[in-house]
């Protein structure tokens, strides 16, 4: 029996019960991660609250965000992201090399994409997302500390060590407003009371920022549009749940 793969080809469906290294998990294409000097979030990490880059994930899926279709010599159809990435660069996005050195789950790797074999095709996930099997069931674990360390690496290597002053001030103002609203509702809602503690911790992140930096945008650059409808936040454990949410950032 065959089934369309995420790349657009055909792949034999494998019985996960008969293959210990094959996972019953939806297939997914390779992808490229990108950062932007205006896209930041506050994460609660093992070092406290930190302002770190909010990444975008460009799946190499034909037809998504301008990714083109390409047919290989063996007839397989795959996504060619070159023009899509070039278009993102023109809007200020920075492509992260797929062979970057990283640490995940205590081991060093070259590259942030990890390929698994799935029952219905290849599965491509970030290195900080691990699939493992208990019996015939596939489970997932996330290395929060490793992911946060990667974000710090991106911040220092590609984004001048932190957000431009105006962006940081706007983030702080937004969090302050959210905290005020949560305090008003805290007496009526357990969720709001919990949010007060989280938001107060996140505001501590701005005390850690260095002296104001000059803007990273060139004069005349337009503010980038929101690309969320075209690209996934990284990665989804369940539909609509971003890794930023899983790892302490803003939903």
> pLDDT tier at 164 (50, 70, 90 boundaries)?
very high
Per-chain mean pLDDT for the chain? 80
pLDDT digits (tens, 9 = 90+) for 53-104: 999 999 999 988 999 888 888 888 888 899 999 999 999 999 999 999 999 9
pLDDT in tens, 179-209: 999 999 988 888 888 999 999 999 999 988 7
Summarised one tens digit per residue, pLDDT across range 115-145 is 999 988 999 999 999 999 888 888 999 999 9
| Lowest-confidence region among 17-21, 37-41, 174-178, 239-243 | 239-243
Short-list 203, 246, 166, 223, CA closest to 36: 223
Q: Looking at residue 20, what is its pLDDT?
A: 67
pTM summary value:
0.74
Instruction: Compute the distance between CA of residue 100 and CA of residue 23 in angstroms, rounded to an integer.
Output: 26
């Amino acid at each position: 029996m065959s089934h369309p793969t995420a790349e657009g080809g055909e792949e034999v469906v494998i019985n996960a019960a008969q293959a210990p290294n094959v996972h019953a998990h939806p297939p997914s294409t390779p992808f490229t991660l990108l950062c932007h000097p205006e896209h930041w979030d506050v994460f609660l990490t093992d070092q406290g609250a930190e302002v770190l880059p909010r990444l975008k994930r460009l799946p190499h899926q034909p037809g998504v965000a301008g990714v083109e279709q390409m047919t290989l010599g063996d007839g397989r159809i795959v996504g060619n992201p070159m023009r899509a990435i070039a278009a993102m660069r023109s809007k200020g996005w920075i492509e992260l090399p797929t062979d970057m050195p990283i640490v995940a789950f205590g081991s060093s790797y070259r590259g942030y994409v990890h390929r698994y074999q799935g029952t219905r095709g290849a599965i491509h996930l970030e290195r900080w997302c691990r699939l493992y099997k208990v019996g015939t069931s596939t489970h997932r674990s996330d290395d929060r500390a490793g992911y946060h360390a990667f974000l710090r690496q991106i911040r220092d290597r590609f984004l001048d060590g932190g957000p431009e002053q105006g962006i940081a001030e706007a983030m702080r103002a937004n969090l302050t407003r959210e905290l005020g609203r949560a305090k008003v509702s805290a007496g009526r809602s357990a969720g709001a009371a919990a949010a007060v503690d989280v938001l107060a911790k996140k505001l501590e992140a701005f005390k850690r920022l260095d002296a104001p930096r000059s803007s990273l945008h060139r004069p005349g650059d337009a503010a980038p549009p929101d690309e969320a409808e075209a690209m996934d936040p990284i990665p989804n454990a369940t539909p609509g749940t971003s890794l930023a949410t899983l790892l302490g950032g803003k939903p």
